[in-house]
Each structure stands twice: as C-alpha cells, then as structure tokens.
C-alpha cells in the first residue's frame, strides 16, 4: 500500500484516547488510527489489555494484537486510582474522541462521566460500546459479543434445523459494533464542524447485530412468521446454497438473479427448469428450492471443484468456495488489491490484513504492529508536562 505523509490522511490532527480492552472499543480505535488519528491506548500497568494473551502467541504476544493495535501508542495507567484518573482527565481534555467499552457506570464511578468530561472539553466526542447500551433494564448486565449475537437474533439462524446454534468463527458482534461506533464518530465530527460541540455515542452489541437482521421483524409482524435456521441455504432466495463436489469439497453458487438462474440451468443441462414459467422469478423458485438445489447438486456431485468453478465462471454465474487462510494469502486478487500486507512487529515481519476502505487520494496507513505494553508512557506523560521525577513517583506508586 502506498504510504502517504500523515498530514494527507483524512483524520490527521485528531487525537483519540482509548479506554477499554479486547475487541469492540479497540477495533473502533484501530480503524480511526489507520486513517491518521493519533490513538493513545490506556492499559492497566503490568498486565495490559487481555487481548495480548489471546489465541496464538509468539514471543510472548498475541499475533492478533498486531492487527488490533497497529498504529496505536500504549501507555499504562491505573484508572482505579485517583492519580490515574486525574492523568486520564488531562489527556481527555486535549482529545477529540474518547473510546470506551467498559460496563455502563464504570467511568461515572471514576469521575469520568461524559457530563464531567464535556464540562472540561466541550468538543469531546465520546464513543461508548457496551453489551446492552447505557440505558434500559439490562444496562448493568455483563455482555460480550457472543451474547449480543444471541440476543440480536443471529445465533438462532446459525446452523441447521434441530441442532445446536453455531457461531460465526469470528467475534462478529463486537466488530459490527465497532463499525457502527466509527460511523457514529464520523457523523459526530461532521456535526461538530458546524456546532463546535461534541456528543456522546451509545452503541450496544445486541443492537448492532439486530440491525443486520434484514426482514426478520416485518415478516413476523405481518405474518407471524418466525425465521428458523436453514443450514447453508438462504431461505426465500433461490438458488443460493453450497453444493458438494466429487473431491470432497464444496462450492457456493448464487444463481438467484432471473437471468443468472437461466444461464445456470442451461449450463447443467436442465433446459426444462430454465424454461419452466413457475421458476422465472425468485418467488416461484423459492417454492421449489429443494428441487432446484437437488438438480444443481447432482451436476456438481459428478465434478471436481476446480472444474465446477471454471464452468460457472464461463457461464457468468457467481460462484466460489470457502477460502482458508492458506487460500487467502496466495490468492492473486487479494495480492493485487494489497489486502495482504506485511508489517514489522516485535515478533518480526508479519503478514496482516490490508486497510479498508480504499480511498483514492488519502488512503489509510498500514503503519507498524501493536506496541509493547507502556511503550509510549513517558513520551505521552512528558507531553502533558509531567517531569522525570513525577513520572518516577508514579511508577513507584504503581500508577504507571
């Protein structure tokens, strides 16, 4: 990816203070940092963000850390102590954006409510991500992404009928909340440019998942219809499913456009299904989904995956197969679009995902991997005017 000077980046000049840990809040800050914001991440002394020890570890640090925390500066600060809260307050007074994902009420207990902070810094935009939001009867309950996915309706639809609900293999509830949070920040920045005043952004994990649930609620309201899990199919949109090949693999075929459907049927030798007037449009096809899927599966089942994919490409039918990490890092399209990049980390050179979205004139930055715990504490606190002696005293008292 072409690296731009920092002054040319969309969020250059904005200062972000990140409080919180793990996924939802830090992922939002990561996105802001990739487009030029100066992100100062506050971590508890000695232990840091628990994500540092999640999943695969190399040289003592999670490899995930180098994706989630790239472009950030790390300082250590004990926010449970008054001295730590005072330093955080001073940092926030100079910030444009505060990102936090503690349980509601935590910051209020530390004297860091939005009202108190906005009185000191009226331009402050505060992004708050929590399980259930800052209001409502569930606000005080602990909530992780998995619970948001359940309450938001996603888990009920995941898997096969009659079986235990399965999860998407990533923390999708957290990441969706981060994306909504960043949208909120950008909206608030636009409004602040007119009014000169910041505001508070309240994002709930369950609501971020629920917002993705398409026609779930109007179908229930109009017909009393409760959507159920359907395995690999997409109910009401036909054909769109996964189909077995004779080499043990699967292909995914999305032949649900009317003209695409006809080309697909002609490709598999089913002119009768292509010409059947009942199947000309999606509403009719969806009433005969099992018959259509069986015909496609019969065709794919006598061929290998690569043969199927090439034939479908030739017929201009959207198709693919489930990529593994090995498929991704070697795929020419990923590489051509610079979606696999390499950064220098404490664990050495490391391949990581590229930056999204892609801006033509002021693209984001890849930067460096995640910082060491407290790597920038002295620099940041010196910038607040704390002397060497004051910082040493804070260290001795365990505040930093």
Q: Does pLDDT of 5 surpass 60?
A: no
Residue 386, C-beta contacts closer than 8 angstroms, at least 6 positions apart: 87, 394
> What pLDDT does 394 receive?
96
What angle in degrees, to the nearest 10, is found between the helix axes of 258-267 and 289-300? 40
Q: What is the pLDDT at residue 167? A: 87
pLDDT of 70-94, one tens digit each? 999 999 999 999 999 999 999 999 9
Same domain flag for 33 and 118: yes
Look at residue 2 in the predicted model and tell me its pLDDT.
Answer: 39
Domain total of the chain = 2
Confidence band for 8, pLDDT divided at 50, 70 and 90: confident
Mean pLDDT on 330-343: 95
Q: If you average pLDDT over residues 379-390, what whole number do you get?
A: 96
- Look at residue 222 and tell me if it is in a domain: no
Q: Are residues 11 and 104 in the same domain?
A: yes
Average pLDDT over residues 131-153: 94
DSSP-derived 3-state class of residue 171: coil
Is position 327 within any domain?
no
Q: Does the model's pTM come out above 0.85?
A: yes
- pLDDT at res. 7: 52
192 and 55 belong to one structural domain: yes
> Which of the four pLDDT bands, split at 50, 70 and 90, describes residue 126?
very high
Inter-residue contact 251 to 243 (CB < 8 Å): yes
**pLDDT greater than 70 at residue 219:** yes
pLDDT band at 105 (very low <50, low <70, confident <90, very high): very high
Percentage of the chain exceeding pLDDT 90? 91
My answer on whether 76 and 188 are in the same domain is: yes
Task: Tell me which of 270, 292, 320 is where a domain ends.
Answer: 320
The verdict on residue 219 lying in a domain is no
Cβ 243 vs Cβ 296: under 8 Å: yes
* Confidence (pLDDT) at 99: 98
pLDDT, the chain, mean: 95
Q: What mean pLDDT comes out for the span 23-37? A: 97
> What integer is the mean pLDDT of 267-274?
97
Say if residue 314 is in the same domain as residue 379.
no
Q: Which pLDDT belongs to residue 3?
A: 43
What whole-number distance in Å separates Cα of residue 395 and Cα of residue 109?
24
Per-residue pLDDT, averaged over 110-125, amounts to 97
- 234 pLDDT tier (thresholds 50, 70, 90): confident
Q: What average pLDDT does range 3-11 have in this prediction?
A: 66
Host domain of residue 278: 240-244+250-320
Instruction: In whole angstroms, give the CA distance from residue 297 to residue 241.
Output: 10
User: What integer is the mean pLDDT of 235-259?
Assistant: 96
pLDDT recorded at residue 368:
84
**Residue 174 designated active-site:** yes
Query: What is the H or E stretch that residue 18 is in?
Result: strand 15-18
- The mean pLDDT value for 179-199 works out to 98
Tell me the three state secondary structure of residue 267: helix
CATH for 303: 3.30.1540.10
Q: Please pick, among 38, 49, 96, 174, the residue that the annotation labels catalytic.
A: 174
Burial class (CB in 10 A: 0-12, 13-18, 19+), 89: middle
Residue 346: the pLDDT is 85
pLDDT for the residue 129? 98
Among residues 320, 343, 363, the one where a domain terminates is: 320
Q: Evaluate the omega torsion of the peptide bond into residue 357 and state whether it is cis, within 30 degrees of 0.
A: yes
Residue 220 lies in a domain: no
CATH code: domain of residue 140: 3.40.50.10540
Asked if 41 and 15 touch (Cβ cutoff 8 Å), the reply is no
The answer to whether residues 306 and 348 belong to one domain is no
State yes or no: pLDDT of 4 exceeds 70. Answer: no
Q: What is the pLDDT of residues 153-181, one digit of tens each?
A: 999 999 999 999 988 889 999 999 999 99
Are residues 347 and 65 in contact, defined by beta-carbon separation less than 8 angstroms?
no
- Same domain for 132 and 76: yes
The CA-atom distances, in angstroms, between 260 and each of 41, 274, 280 are: 49, 10, 11
Please give the structure tokens belonging to residue 25. 């809040």
User: Is 230 inside a domain boundary?
Assistant: no
Among 184-198, 285-299, 340-354, which stretch is predicted with the lowest mean pLDDT? 340-354
Looking at the fold, whether 101 and 41 belong to one and the same domain comes out as yes
> Distance between CA 108 and CA 19 in Å, rounded?
13
Which of helix, strand or coil describes residue 251?
A: strand
Rg over CA atoms, the chain: 25
């Amino acid at each position: 990816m072409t690296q731009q000077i920092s002054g040319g980046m969309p969020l250059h000049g904005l200062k972000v203070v990140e409080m919180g840990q793990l996924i939802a809040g830090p992922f939002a800050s990561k996105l802001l940092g990739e487009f030029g914001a100066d992100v100062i991440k506050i971590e508890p002394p000695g232990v840091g963000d628990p994500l540092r020890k999640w999943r695969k570890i190399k040289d003592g640090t999670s490899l995930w850390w180098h994706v989630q925390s790239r472009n950030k500066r790390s300082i250590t600060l004990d926010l449970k102590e008054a001295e730590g809260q005072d330093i955080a307050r001073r940092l926030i007074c100079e910030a444009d954006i505060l990102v936090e994902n503690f349980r509601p009420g935590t910051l209020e207990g530390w004297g860091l409510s939005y009202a108190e902070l906005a009185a000191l810094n009226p331009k402050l935009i505060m992004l708050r991500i929590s399980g259930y939001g800052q209001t409502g009867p569930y606000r005080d309950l602990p909530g992780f992404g998995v619970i948001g996915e359940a309450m938001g309706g996603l888990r009920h639809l995941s898997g096969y009928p009659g079986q235990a609900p399965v999860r998407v293999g990533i923390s999708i509830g957290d990441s969706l909340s981060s994306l909504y949070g960043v949208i909120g920040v950008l909206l608030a920045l636009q409004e602040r440019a007119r009014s000169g005043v910041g505001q508070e952004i309240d994002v709930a994990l369950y609501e971020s998942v629920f917002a993705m649930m398409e026609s779930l609620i109007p179908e229930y309201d109009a017909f009393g219809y409760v959507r159920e899990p359907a395995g690999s199919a997409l109910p009401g949109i036909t054909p769109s499913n996964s189909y077995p090949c004779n080499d043990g693999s699967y292909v995914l075929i999305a032949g649900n456009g009317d003209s695409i459907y006809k080309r697909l049927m002609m490709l598999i030798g089913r002119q009768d299904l292509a010409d059947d007037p009942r199947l000309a449009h999606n509403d009719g096809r969806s009433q005969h989904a099992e018959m259509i899927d069986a015909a496609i599966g019969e065709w794919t089942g006598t061929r290998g995956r690569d043969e199927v994919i090439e034939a479908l490409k030739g017929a201009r039918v959207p198709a693919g197969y489930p990529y593994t990490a090995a498929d991704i890092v070697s795929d020419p399209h990923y590489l051509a679009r610079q979606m696999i990049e390499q950064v220098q980390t404490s664990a050495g050179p490391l391949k990581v995902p590229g930056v999204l979205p892609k801006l033509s004139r002021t693209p984001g930055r890849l930067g460096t991997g995640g910082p060491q715990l407290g790597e920038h504490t002295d620099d940041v606190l010196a910038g607040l005017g704390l002397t060497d002696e004051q910082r040493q005293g804070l260290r001795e008292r365990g505040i930093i």
